[in-house]
Amino acid sequence: MVSDEGTRFYLSGADPRGNVVVDGSWCVKAVKGNTAPLTGTGASGASPASSKKGELLRIDYVTLYTVIAGPQLVVCLDSSTPGAPDAEPVGQFDTKGNLALWGSTDGTCSGEEQPVRKTMVTARAVDDANAKCLAAGEPGVDATLVSYGYPLPLDVWVCTQA
C-alpha cells in the first residue's frame, strides 16, 4: 500500500490464517528525477528521491521480491527503568504509531493507554534510524529503546514526536 502522499509504502494485509506481513524485499523507483531504483528490505520504505527542498518525490512503482508473513505477536515490554511505562508493539516496524505506552509499569500493559503512540524503527546506526523516523513522518530519532530499559535488540530505536 502506498501512502496518501504517494511518497512512502507499507506492506500490509493478512492471509486467511491471520498472519501479517513481517518482512519483505523490494525495489522502489521515484516518478521523477534521475535516481536509480532502490532495493531494500523491511515492511515499509520511501521514495529514493527528493526535491531540492528536501521533500520526497512520488513513487512510480514498487516491485516485491519476497514477502514474509507470520503471526502477529502480542507482547508487553516491561522497562527496567523505575517508573517507565509498559510498552506494547502494535504495528510493523518503521511505521508511524507502532508502539503503545500504558499506565502500568509492571509488564502487564494494563490501565489507560497513553493518548499518543510512539514510533519505533529498526536500524544499525543513528543516521539510518533518523532517516527511517523522517520517512515515517516523525521529526527525527530519539534513542534506542534499550537505553530506556526495554528488553529489545540494540537496533530498535524510538523516534521523537512533534
81 near 148, Cβ under 8 Å? yes
Q: Higher model confidence: residue 66 or residue 138?
A: 138
Q: Which of 48-57, 116-125, 131-140 has the lowest mean pLDDT?
A: 48-57
Estimate to the nearest angstrom the gap between the alpha carbon of 130 and the chain centroid. 11
Task: Say what the pTM is.
Answer: 0.57
pLDDT of 31: 83
pLDDT over 90 (residue 22): no
Contact residues for 52 (Cβ-Cβ < 8 A; gap 6+): none
Kindly tell me the sign of the dihedral angle through the C-alpha atoms of 96, 99, 101, 102.
Answer: positive
Q: Which residues is 157 bridged to in the sheet?
A: 121, 144
Tens of pLDDT along 50-60? Answer: 888 888 888 88
pLDDT of 33: 66
pLDDT over 90 (residue 18): no
CA distance 129 to 24: 18
pLDDT of 35: 75
pLDDT band of 87, cuts 50, 70, 90: very high
Where do we find the cell 521523477? 32
pLDDT band of 78, cuts 50, 70, 90: very high
Residue environment code for 60-83, b if the CB has 16+ CB neighbours within 10 A, otherwise e: eebeeeeeebeeeeeebbbbeeee
CA distance 98 to 86: 14
pLDDT band of 15, cuts 50, 70, 90: low
pLDDT of 43: 76
10 near 26, Cβ under 8 Å? no
